[in-house]
Structure 1
Amino acid sequence: MEARPRDPLGQVAGADGCPGGWICIVLDRETSAVTPLLCRSSEELLTIRPEPSVLAIDMPIGLPDAGDRDCDRIARTLLGPRRSSVFPAPIRPSLVAVTQQGADAISRAIVGRGVGAQAWGLYRRVLSLDCLIGPDEQTRCVEVHPELSFLALNGDRPMPHSKHSPEGIAARRAVIDAAFGPEAFPSVRQAISPKDATDDDLLDAMAACWTANRIAEGIARRIPDKPPTDSRGLRMEMWF
C-alpha cells in the first residue's frame, strides 16, 4: 500500500449513493468548513464547482471482465466481521444488460455468479460513472469503501457493529465527530432531507471525505500495492 504525493490546500470531497442521488461532502482544507451537496446525477457529481482536488466515491471504478477484483478480496480480509459489506464488483460484460435477469444470465455464464436485486440496484450508478471516468480522471476521482475508511478512523480496527444497527450508527458517529468536530454531522443532517439521504448515507460520505483529505495529505493507503488495470485502462484499486 502506498500514499499519493501531498496536494496543496484546497477542497476535497467524498460521495456516497443515496435515495436522492449522491450525497457529496465537501471539505475546505484551509478553513475546515464542511459543506453537504445533494447531486441528482453522476454528471452533476463530477462537475461540482469549485472542483475538488480529490473526489472519493463509494462505488466501483475499474471493472473486471471476469472474476473478482484483488482490491475487493483484500478489503474483505481487512474488514473481518464487516467483510459482507464489500459486494463483488460487476463484471464489465454484464453492464450492457437492461434488466436484472439479463445481467444475471451474463454473470452466471461468465463467472457462475448471479446478480441479486441489491447488486442490480447499483448497476445504473456503476455504468454512469464508467461512462464519465477514464484513466485520466482517476488522478482526481478515486474509489473508496466507507468501511475501510471507518477501519482507519477506528485505529485500524473494523467497526464492531453493522451500520444498520443503532450501535453501529453511534460508533460511526463517534469517530466522525472526532475527525470533523461534534458540530459537523448535525449541520450536515440539518441541510439534507432524510428522504434524500439516511444517517448512514451521510456518515459514509463523511468517511469518504475524510479519506479524500488523507489522499490530499499524502498519507492514505491503497489496495493492492500495484493495482491491475481493466480493459479500459482504469486501475482497480481502493483508497483509505
Structure 2
Amino acid sequence: METDAQRIRELADGLASGLAGATDDEVAAALAESVTSLRRLADVVERRSDALAATGRLAPVEVVVPVLGVDGCSAGWVGALLEPGAPRPRIVVAPTIADLVAMVRESTGIRVVAIDIPIGLPDNTIRQADVLARQALPGKASSIFSTLTRSAYAAATRLEADSVNRGLVGQGVGAQAFALRDKIVEVDAWLRTRPTVTVLEVHPEVSFAAMTGAPMTASKKTDEGRDQRLAALAAAGIPRPSVLQGQGYAVDDVLDACAVAWSAARHASGLARPLPDPPEVFSDGIPAAIWA
C-alpha cells in the first residue's frame, strides 16, 4: 500500500519534472521551492510513521510555521504560541479570542489557530465529532461535552436551551455544557468575521491520547495529572513553558493550550487527522471536526 510519504514524494517529483519546461525564472524558483518543501515534508511524515510503528507513540512534532493553541480560562483565553526555532511555548492571555489572535499577529505571522471549543454548530443532529472523540477516549469519554444545537445556544437561559435541545435532538442541557455557551457563541461570531488564518477545533484530551497512544489516566487538576501531561508534551516535542499559571489562568489551562498547539503544529505539517474525516458541515457552512 502506498504511504503518505510516498504520495508526497510523487507529487514533488511531478513538480520537479515541470522545472525543465519553466521559461520564467520566477516560476522556476517557486517550483523549486515547492519541490524542496514537499520533499522535506515527506521526510517528516516518514519519520513520524517509523516512530509510531516502533513505539506506539508519535515522533516529536516539528514546528514548521508559527501556530497558536488556545484554551478558555477565567481571564478569557490563554494561548500557547509555537514558533520555529523557539526554545519553548510563549504563553499569551487576552479577554477575547479576537484580541488574543490580533495581539499575537502583531509580532508573528501565525498560520493556524487551534481552539479547545466546539466549532461548527449542528442544526438538529448530534455532532459526529463529539461521538468519535468519546470513542477515542475509553474511560475518559465524560471529558467530551455534547455540543448543543445552534438554536439552543441562542437561548437566554439553560432551561430554555434544555427545552429547545430536547425538541431537536432528544438530549437535555447540563449546567457544565451550558456554561460554555458564551465562549462558543463568541468564537462562532469571530469566525463569521472570516479571520485570515486557518482555525481548527481541538480537544486537549484527544490530543494527549494521540501523543501517547492512550488517554491520560490522572485528572488534569492533580499534581499527578500535571506531571503526566508535562511528560507527554515533552516527549511530543513541546518543552515546558516558562510560565505555567498567572492571573486568570491555571496550570491545566496552559497545559491544555500546549496540547492544542501541538495539534495545530501537526496540522501545519499535514499530519493531523480530523474526527470525523471528512468533517461534517451544517447550515453554518463551518467544517465541524476535532483535530489531533
Q: Return the TM-score normalized by structure 1.
A: 0.88
Structure 1 segment 92-107 matched on structure 2, within 5 A: 92-107=150-165
Whether 1:69 and 2:127 are equivalent positions in the alignment is yes
How far residue 107 of structure 1 moved from its aligned partner, in angstroms, is 1.3
What's the counterpart of residue 198 of structure 1?
Answer: 250
Structure 1 CA distance for aligned equivalents of residues 280 and 177 of structure 2: 23
Tell me which moved more, 12-21 or 92-101. 92-101
Measure how far apart 1:164 and its partner are: 3.0
Residue in structure 2 matched with residue 44 of structure 1 by the alignment? 99
Aligned amino acid, residue 161 of structure 2: A
Partner SS, residue 180 of structure 2? helix
1:80-108 residue CA offsets vs partner (Å, 9 max, x unmatched): 11111110012111121122222122112
User: Match for residue 77 of structure 2?
Assistant: 22
Aligned residues: 232
Secondary structure of 1:161 counterpart: coil
Report percent identity of matched pairs.
36
Whether 1:31 aligns to 2:89 is no
Note the aligned Cα RMSD (angstroms): 2.5
Rounded to whole Å, the distance in 2 between the matches of 1:202 and 1:162 is 15
Q: 1:159 to 1:169 in 2, by over 3 A?
A: same
For residues 71 and 141 of structure 2, the distance between their equivalents in structure 1, rounded to whole angstroms, comes to 18
1:161-196 CA distance string (max 9 Å, x none): 2323332222112112333465x33x122xx41x41
2:214 maps to: 157
Partner letter of residue 151 of structure 1? A
* 1:72-87 matched pairs, under 5 angstroms: 72-87=130-145
Paired AA for residue 163 in structure 2:
A
Pair 1:181–1:52, CA change in 2 (3 A): closer
Gaps of 5+ in 1: none
Shift of 1:225: 1.4
The runs of 5 or more residues in structure 2 that have no matched partner are 5-37, 42-61
Preserved CA contact (<8 Å) 2:140 2:215:
yes
Residue 44 of structure 1, CA deviation:
1.0
Query: Which has the bigger relative contact order, CA under 8 A and spacing at least 6?
Result: 1
For 2:266 and 2:158, the matched residues in 1 are separated by: 37
Relative to structure 1, is the Cα distance of residues 137 and 80 closer, same or farther in structure 2, using a 3 angstrom cutoff?
Answer: farther
Code of the residue aligned with 1:103 in structure 2: it is: A
Is 2:113–2:197's contact at 8 Å kept on the other side of the alignment? no
After TM superposition, the runs of 4+ consecutive aligned structure 1 residues lying more than 4 A away are 5-8, 134-139
Q: 1:181 to 1:72 in 2, by over 3 A?
A: closer
Give the residue type in structure 2 aligned to 1:217. S
Normalised by the length of structure 2, the TM-score is 0.73
Residue 270 of structure 2 aligns with an amino acid whose one-letter code is G
Aligned residue in 2 for 1:214: 266
In structure 2, relative to structure 1, the CA distance for the partners of 1:203 and 1:8 (3 Å cut) is: closer
Q: Does 1:167 align with 2:224?
A: yes
